[in-house]
Amino acid sequence: MALQRASKATDTGLDVKDDSRAESQPTPSSPGRMYSHLLLLTSFLSIGIIALAISSSISGTGSSVRDTRLGMLHVRPSGYSLSNEPTRYLYWGDRIDCPGKHCAACEGLGHQESSLRCALEEAMLLNRLYLWLQIRDILEDYDAIHVRRGDKIKVRKDRLGVHRTLHPHLDRDTRPEAILQRIASWVPEGRMVFIASNERTPGFFSPLSVKYRLAYSSNFTNILEPVVQNNYHLFMLERLVLADARRLIKTFKEESSDLSLTDDPKKNLRDWKIPVYTLDDTSL
């Protein structure tokens, strides 16, 4: 009989469904489909339970807060307050291991100083700036000048024996007589001026005292000596004092709005020029 039905269907050209194969395929309510749905639901529930466990663990042991501006992650234990000691802080800075040669912010710095810059940012975030606050309170209202000389005014001889430098006007522009002329329209006479510089000649900036009251980090030895251990520490502190001045005059112009002692570009690695030492109004 089955053979007769098959031959008859073939003769008429009609398609005949195979009922036996249709019965073997899983339907929406088959055990296979139900098992996959159950597995997916179990996975979601497991993820939710794990997330809830992590959240409760963090709330019980402490909290982590990220400061995206400084790249800081500071871990605060439960019951945190400034009086609780010790408190552990993790600093995630982009340039903790910066060699100081490949980025604008740390240009010219070694590993120790670039690392101290990270520590400075951490101290600023935690308000651990007691020394700076003491110096600021003593200076009260003041202006500041950062004079970078030593490492930037080096000269070398070319093959003809002519002295050349990367910053041809810097030596001239950072001398007291040039500084007096440069800042006359920016800083009123009689103002307190804090000077931070790597110039090693004693009394080098004393001629500025004819118009201004001068202050240096050396005036605060009694405050700094117990804490500051090297020149890197001192420079970090001076940076804070400079930043808090009413007017800050930099050595080089870094932004278009900056006040600067010289118009020589800060970044010059190849163009060695003959130094200029004469004063003229057009260059000042």
The residues, any chain, with a CB within 8 Å of residue 172's CB and separated by 6 or more, are 178, 275, 276, 277, 278, 279
Among candidates 113, 68, 66, 69, which has minimal Cα distance to 90? Answer: 66
* Amino acid present at 169: H
Q: Give the tens place of pLDDT for each residue, 33-42.
A: 666 667 777 7
What local confidence, expressed as pLDDT, does residue 156 receive?
85
What local confidence, expressed as pLDDT, does residue 223 receive?
83
User: 76: pLDDT confidence band, cut at 50, 70 and 90?
Assistant: very low
Where do runs of H (alpha helix) occur along 19-167? 19-24, 31-61, 111-126, 130-139
Flag whether pLDDT at 182 surpasses 90. Answer: yes
What local confidence, expressed as pLDDT, does residue 4 receive?
45
| pLDDT (mean) for 87-106 | 49
Q: 3-state DSSP call for residue 66?
A: strand
Flag whether pLDDT at 180 surpasses 90. Answer: yes
Flag whether pLDDT at 208 surpasses 60. Answer: yes
What local confidence, expressed as pLDDT, does residue 214 receive?
97
The span from the CA of 78 to the CA of 252, in Å, is 47
Structure letter (DSSP) for residue 193: E
What local confidence, expressed as pLDDT, does residue 260 receive?
96
Q: Give the tens place of pLDDT for each residue, 122-153.
A: 666 665 566 777 888 899 899 999 999 987 88
What local confidence, expressed as pLDDT, does residue 155 receive?
84
Structure tokens at 168: 């041809």
- The per-residue pLDDT of the chain, averaged, comes to 72
Burial of 131 (0-12, 13-18, 19+ CB in 10 A): buried
How far is the CA of 248 from the CAs of 63, 84, 261, in angstroms? 39, 37, 11
Among candidates 144, 165, 173, 150, which has minimal Cα distance to 252? Answer: 173
Burial of 29 (0-12, 13-18, 19+ CB in 10 A): exposed
List beta partners, residue 196: 146
